[in-house]
Amino acid sequence: MKAWLGLGANLQHPVMQLRQALSDLGKADGIEVLRVSSFYSTPPWGDEHQEDFINAVVQIETSLDSLALLHALQAIENVMGRQRNGRRWGPRVIDIDVLLYGDQVINSTELSVPHPRMHERAFVLMPLVELHRGIEIPGWGRAEALLSGLDCDGICRLGEGALK
């Protein structure tokens, strides 16, 4: 199954955190990293009193069902030091979200796909559209059309030199 993941971090050298998460994803059983977007510097969303985030989107192929994938991603976050302290949209060392799982719509107590609010977040849609211009978000439409209606101020694609 092809799936799309969103990565974000704004603590402890966020570019390095995303690189580590990508490395860990590549080593995880049942997950093959197919493509990775550019990294983007983005202003915080929701809780604006914190450092900017570095965000990216990853396309994977997985043999895991959706919940097993979620648990594998949470295990990577835990090993990397992710703290779930109850502060919604707060600072974090890493965040790995299941954005899309094939074209499935999933609503369970543990997982909602498409990821809730992804259709309103330019920092998710911009790297997603970079990888796949015509991608459809079930129930919402084309990501490119959704992105065109959002405020992209402050979102900056990092150049190759910034990632080394």
Active-site positions read: 82, 92, 95, 97
Q: Which residue has the tokens 């074209």?
A: 103
- Angle 29-13-82 from CA coordinates, rounded to 5°: 50
Pairwise CA distance, residues 126 & 1, whole Å: 23
Q: Exposure pattern of 141-154 as b/e (b: 16+ CB <10 Å)? A: eebeebbeebeeee
Coil vs helix vs strand at 42: strand
